[in-house]
Structure 1
Amino acid sequence: MNFSVLMSVYYKESPKFLLESIKSIINQTLLPNEIVIVQDGELTTELTEILGKYERNYPNLFKFIKLDQNVGLGPALAIGINECNNHIIARMDSDDICHPERFERQINYLNENPSIDVVGSWIGEFDQDYTEVTNVRKVPLSYQDVLNFAKTRNPLNHMTVVFRKKAVLDAGNYKPFLWNEDYYLWVRMLNQNYKIVNLGEILVYARTGSEMYKRRGGIQYLLKDISLQKEFLRMNFINRTTFYKNIIIRCFVRLLPNSLRGFVYKTLLRK
């Protein structure tokens, strides 16, 4: 089955990490026939050179969408989805690494389960070397467990998802919701009875560290959390009791010092 890989790149990306990410895509046991990369605003010289090399060496595989200004992840992915020519799209982040059999396992799963609209997986988190996994973010596997889990936390690891393009577009595509574009999309899909599952294995290796935990804290992040929970309440996806519970937990996590928040993520929110 033909499928597309969708990635967004912006100027703060690491050239080394981007190179490793792309290599992990083109060294799969099942190769995509299209890799769509959205250049979200002007890039650094180093990033441009890396993308230019792949454009020259794989002219029939890579498709580049160049945006004049940085619009953010959600809008960039929304544009990218419309530019994908295949019915199946696999997401990938520009600083993570795919397991060599990732696409083969997920694409085969969608082929064998036509009622499923989105399939994700667990991630192995690492600091420097992806072969030295420090934590595993396990997410629920079955549709019902995903639905229940989504009422309190994001039920998918965004960089692992493979989805049917039509289902995502019918649900409204990615919409601007800073730091929560993917979670907002999954909940809208679940609220419209689209079927989402995860495979219980590590298919993507994701970089972590103190900077990641720092990005997930602070008053601005908390305010975005509250806005999202209000939207879930408005949609009747959660009830008022769950709303208040979610807000209390997020207040605690977001306002912790960075080192303590890292401890919470590593010990309470990971395996």
Structure 2
Amino acid sequence: MNFDVPKITVLMPAYNAGKYIGEAIESVLQQTFTDFELLIVNDGSTDDTADVIRSFTDPRIVMIHQDNKGVAQALNNGLKYARAPYIARFDADDVCHIERLQLQYDFMISNPDYSIIGSAADYMDMEGTYLFTSTPPALNNEHIQQLEHSVCPFIHSTVFYKKEVILKAGGYNEHAYTYEDHFLWVNILKDQKACNFSQPLIKLRLNPESITIDEKWRPRRFLEIKYSTLKSRNITSHEGNLLAEIGEKQYSPKIKQGSYYALCAKKLLINNYHPQKARLHMARAICVSPLRLDNYLLYTISYLPEKLIAWLHKISSGGHYND
């Protein structure tokens, strides 16, 4: 093993992730594939994130610091310091399946014409309880290339890609507030081969502190800008400032918490039919945001038969704005 030039850089941005990052780091260190560096970009955390990272003594862990500039800049900063030719994206509150790196590395070596590979993911709540399994919207390259611009082809924490391809494309666009990954894919996939594994390779944690809230809670103006920029594959600094302004207004514990409970309820109802558990989460969402009528609607729908709920979801998902 050569620690000077690792085969893989696991790139992990971290902001106030002290509650979960220890488990995330452990899941990387326990990988069956061992020739990697774990590059953690501490994005101006104000909690004990840095202390938790420093509590590990494994020489493969590298921590760099930056002022709180957001995930896109943290990723771009990490790409500059990454030593390996392959990047495995990973978030500080998620958990890697033990063979994740080995499977993705072996595929990339055996299929050098591919530049990006992702996978399905098991979603869990903030306590680590399983919620549902999410399969990407397309698995093979042909189907990925046929996706509408509005559909994100990858679950970001699962992706494994060639660093040079991302750097050549200019990295993550820092104006694409909360969808910097989706914006990157629409700009590079036309020239690159990609695929997704059907099996889950990570456990992805939903939690109220997450930067991304359920899209159903975004105002229409935010979604209009998002999908128009994805369609044009271009975003201006003015549009980025508008997105950030809208997003920062929503960045409150109340909205985050309400969105979290509503999203857990929706997934428990639609993806993993547990109506009683879903109603418990909806009741919490209603307590947080009693004026949101869609919370009451979802609570009522939870009493319908599973097949009818699935049919209603299929119809409602046919519009422009996707989950």
Which band: TM-score by shorter chain? 0.7 to 0.9
Deviation at 1:49, TM superposition (A): 1.4
In the TM superposition, what are the counterparts of 1:99-248 in structure 2 within 5 Å?
Answer: 99-127=97-125, 130=128, 133-139=130-136, 140-176=138-174, 177-191=176-190, 193-208=191-206, 215-217=213-215, 220=218, 222-235=220-233
**Aligned residues of 2:125 and 2:264 also touching (Cα < 8 A):** no
> Partners of 2:52 and 2:87 in 1: how far apart?
23
Q: Does the 8 Å contact 2:131/2:267 carry over to 1?
A: no
Residues 194-253 of structure 1 show CA distances to partners (whole Å, capped at 9, x for unaligned) of 1121011010001126776992246656433322221233249xxxxxxxxxxxxxxxxx
CA distance in 1: counterparts of 2:212 and 2:77, whole angstroms:
29
Q: Deviations over 1:131-150 (max 9, x none)?
A: x5321110111012122235
Q: What is the aligned length?
A: 242
Give the Cα separation in 2 of the matches to 1:102 and 1:78.
Answer: 23
Q: Is the 8 A contact 2:14 2:45 kept in 1?
A: no
SS where residue 117 of structure 1 aligns? strand
Show the 5 A alignment for 1:31-50: 31-44=34-47, 46-50=48-52
User: Is the Cα contact below 8 Å between 1:138 and 1:270 reproduced in 2?
Assistant: no
Residues of 2 paired with 1:205 and 1:226: CA distance?
Answer: 31
**Percent of aligned positions with the same letter in both sequences?**
24
Counterpart AA for 1:180? Y
Which consecutive unaligned segments of at least 5 residues does structure 1 have?
Answer: 237-256
After TM superposition, the structure 1 stretch with the greater mean CA deviation from structure 2, 213-222 or 29-38, is: 213-222
Alignment partners' CA distance in 1, 2:212 and 2:230: 25
CA RMSD of aligned residues (A): 2.7
Residue among 4, 11, 14 paired with 2:9: 4
Q: 1:180 to 1:144 in 2, by over 3 A?
A: same
* Aligned CA distance change for structure 1 residues 223 and 196 (closer, same or farther; 3 Å): farther
Residue 32 of structure 1 deviates from its aligned partner by 3.9
Structure 2 stretches lacking a partner, 5+ long = 1-5, 235-257, 274-323
How far apart are the structure 1 equivalents of 2:173 and 2:8? Answer: 23
SS of residue matched to 1:149: coil
Tell me, in whole angstroms, the C-alpha distance in 1 between the residues paired with 2:111 and 2:152.
Answer: 23
Q: Highest Rg: 1 or 2?
A: 2
CA deviations 1:18-40 (Å, max 9, x no partner) are 00000000001102431111111
The answer to whether the aligner puts 1:17 opposite 2:8 as a matched pair is: no
TM-score normalised to structure 1 length = 0.80
Give me the whole-angstrom Cα distance separating, in 2, the residues matched to 1:225 and 1:32: 41
Residue 152 of structure 1 and its aligned partner are, at CA, apart by 2.9
CA distance in 1, matches of 2:77, 2:228: 26
Query: In structure 2, how many angstroms separate the alpha carbons of the residues matched to 1:149 and 1:270?
Result: 25
Does the 8 Å CA contact 2:149/2:231 hold for their aligned counterparts? no
Aligned equivalents of 1:80, 1:71: Cα separation in 2? 13
| Aligned residue in 1 for 2:317 | none
Q: 1:184 touches 1:228 (CA, 8 Å); kept in 2?
A: no
Contact conserved, 1:116 with 1:194, CA < 8 A, in 2?
A: yes
Looking at both structures, which has the greater relative contact order when contacts are Cα pairs under 8 Å and sequence separation is at least 6? 1
Q: Which residue does the alignment assign to 1:26?
A: 29
2:65 alignment partner, SS class? strand
Question: Which residue identity lines up with residue 138 of structure 1 in the other structure?
Answer: T
Contact 1:120 1:161 (C-alpha < 8 Å) held by counterparts = yes
Letter of the aligned partner of 1:81 in structure 2? L
SS in 1 for 2:19: helix
User: Matched residues in 2 for 1:126 and 1:203: separation?
Assistant: 13
Distance 1:128 1:62 in 2: 25
Partner amino acid, structure 2, of 1:23: E
Letter of the aligned partner of 2:177 in structure 1? L
